[in-house]
Chains A and B, each alone.
Chain A
Amino acid sequence: MMRKTHQWILAAFILAALVFYPKIFGIYYTNVFVTFAIFALFATSFNLLLGYTGLLSFGHAMFFGTGAYGTALALEHIEGMPLIAALLAGLLAAALLALILCPIMVRVSGTAFAMLHLAFGQLMYVLALKLRGITGGEDGVGGFPIPPLKIAGLVSIDMTDPSNFYYFAITVLGLSIIILWFFTKTPFGSIMVAVRDNAKRVDYLGFKVPQTKAVIYIVAGAFAGVAGSIYALFQNLIAADDGFNVIVSFAPISMTIVGGIGSFFGPLMGSAIFGMIGEMTSRYTERVELVMGVILILVILYAPYGFMGFISFVRKKLAKAAA
């Protein structure tokens, strides 16, 4: 009972902090926070594959990029496209890509799964660069109109205002993360973990392993698409290097590993840590990749379960000391 009350108080506190954040910290840090939130959802959707199902993907950026291009192209080519519909276009584009790829992907696991994703991710990158007529090549798609958010045809909120956009982005990204949280708590979520631990036994229990993987794969892809879609709206630009580059695929991997594999909130912590490190290092040095590489090596050597693993380790120690 006490725990429940605590949780409600914590939730209310976080909500209040999110509402007043732009007023307190100003425009610059509001934008930093939106970037963090985008990558938090991206990394959380990625963790659905790595942490829950045990599938390491080196090409998760292709869903991010597809979602971003889906939204950007829909807004550029369709006049009077509502905001929510554009968002859905991004989600559906990414889900469609996952649907097309999943017949191949559910058949493999381990290193082959990782490498196939690297290859297909790179294929998407090359296509985005080469199909200039559609994607604009290196320049990408930019300067498309950002429509206002219309609620029931009555209220119209201008989305070009950064703090309005902040509330919109936080709502969408937060809801997505909450949906994913409940998704992992369903019986289906348990099957997901079971597939990771022992796929053969899950098969013997009568659950269909390939189909389970396919559903997870499509969900993970679709929510990465949502993250990409918000990213495109936020930047009002999406280029091949921001959407499909290998570095974009490595970002959620690093975040999940640093934050803590096998914990739902690990990727969230990871993207917060990376956001802060990026913010600090880019102020002093241009060598962000070098810093990221060193952090990855150190974390995997000395704290293989990441930040969340470290916290639970400290908790256990404290509990032992108290007992």
Chain B
Amino acid sequence: MDPVTAMYVAQGIHGLAYGMVLFLVASGLTLIFGMMGILNLAHASFFMLSAYFSYTVLQLTGNFWLALLIAPAATAVLGVMMERFLLTKIHAFGHIGELILTIGVSLVILDGVKVFWGTVNLPLRPPEILQGMVNLGGLEYPAYRLFVIGLALCVLIFLAIILYKTRLGMVVRAAVSDADMVNALGINVPLVFMLVFGVGTWMAGIAGVAIAPILTVFPGLADQMGLDAFIVVVVGGFGSLTGAFIVSIVCGLLNSYGVQFISSLAPVLMFVFMAIVLGIKPMGLFGERE
């Protein structure tokens, strides 16, 4: 492979890796929104929290795989607690109240991690096996990023099987389109809500652990990922998983190629993309409602 093509391919895989992680965060966000109409502004904070958890687990045990198992689970427990003890209490006050509440939670988490872990960038080493480079037909590529793509794909396939091949998935999809009707059919919808909230934060947690060795762990992590995830959800259409997937990949590629060609204005590219899509389709690419 000649150097120029190699560079393009490397940037492409970079973008793909980021896009996949982005999808892990955005899919939880869009599922929760689709079911409950709650835009969880604390979602990215849970993502960051999980990265911090994984750092601590890694410090204590030195085992990355254990961190990958424990940190997202702990995050999911916190997410479920927030849904149970805070969000259900203010359902009557409407969506603005829920948005404000999630802002409050995200502020608490943001400042909380500063109290416990400080403001410095904490480096995280990937496990031994994944530290080397892999030869892709003449291109040396870091193994860890390939692992991230694979991990995200596994989670995605797992999610797809549950959603489209099981009875539980059918209930969830039905609740997305009409929660009241499903409730009237005798299914415990609040329990399903709680489950979806848990799975959503769990996926954000996995993304947090996966991204930690690449970006290091720092308090700005939530802002960076959160904004991208919100753009993905808005552009892909609220509640649409297909939309979230396509837009995540597009955003990942836009980011990595943007940095290469117009580095100073790369962060603006996503917003321009969003403005164009929303100018044509205010509901987003695959959205059916606001």
Contacts and interface: CB of A to CB of B under 8 A. Distances in A.
B204 interface: no
B100 interface: yes
A315 interface: no
B111 interface: yes
B267 A126 contact: yes
B107 A296 contact: yes
B106 interface: yes
B56 to A, nearest CB: 20
B107 A293 contact: yes
B230 A115 contact: yes
B95 A110 contact: yes
Interface string A227-263: 0000000000000000000100010011001000100
B100 A257 contact: yes
A181 interface: no
A107, A120, A293 — most chain B CB neighbours (10 Å) = A293
B268 interface: yes
A96 to B, nearest CB: 17
A267 to B, nearest CB: 14
B93 interface: yes
Interface in B254-274: 264-265, 267-268, 271, 274
Given A122-B271, A126-B267, A289-B111, A250 B93 contact: no
Given A111-B39, A120-B271, A293 B282 contact: no
Interface in A88-113: 104, 107-112
A149 interface: no
A137 to B, nearest CB: 11
B268 A127 contact: yes
B236 to A, nearest CB: 12
Nearest to B238: A111
Interface string A112-148: 1011101110110011001000000000000000000
Contacts, number: 110
A56 B101 contact: no
Interface in B92-108: 93, 95-97, 99-101, 103-108
B186 interface: no
A111 B290 contact: yes
B279 interface: yes
Given A111-B290, A115-B39, A126-B267, A253 B108 contact: no
B86 interface: yes
Nearest to A296: B104
Contact of B275 (A104, A114, A292): A104
Nearest to B287: A112
B104, B106, B227, B274 — most chain A CB neighbours (10 Å) = B104
A218 to B, nearest CB: 19
Contacts of A104: 275, 278-279
A300 B99 CA distance: 10
B227 A56 contact: no
Given A110-B290, A126-B267, A301 B111 contact: no
B243 to A, nearest CB: 14
Interface string B82-94: 0000100110010
A56 B33 CA distance: 17
A293 B104 contact: yes
A290 B107 contact: yes
A116 B271 contact: no
A123 B278 CA distance: 15
Contact of B267 (A50, A130, A304): A130
B112 interface: yes
A300 B101 contact: yes
B253 interface: no
B99 A293 contact: no
B92 to A, nearest CB: 9
B34 to A, nearest CB: 12
A112 B110 CA distance: 24
A51 to B, nearest CB: 10
A254 B107 CA distance: 12
B271 A114 contact: no
Contacts of B231: 119
Contacts of B279: 104
Interface in A154-195: none
Interface of A: 50, 56, 104, 107-112, 114-116, 118-120, 122-123, 126-127, 130, 246, 250, 253-254, 257, 261, 287, 289-290, 292-297, 300-301, 304
Q: Which 8 pairs of residues, A with B, have the shortest CB-CB distance?
A: A293-B107, A296-B104, A290-B111, A293-B108, A297-B104, A123-B271, A289-B111, A293-B104
Given A254-B103, A292-B107, 15 more contacts: A104-B275, A104-B278, A108-B278, A111-B33, A111-B95, A118-B227, A119-B231, A120-B275, A127-B268, A130-B267, A287-B114, A287-B115, A290-B111, A293-B111, A296-B100
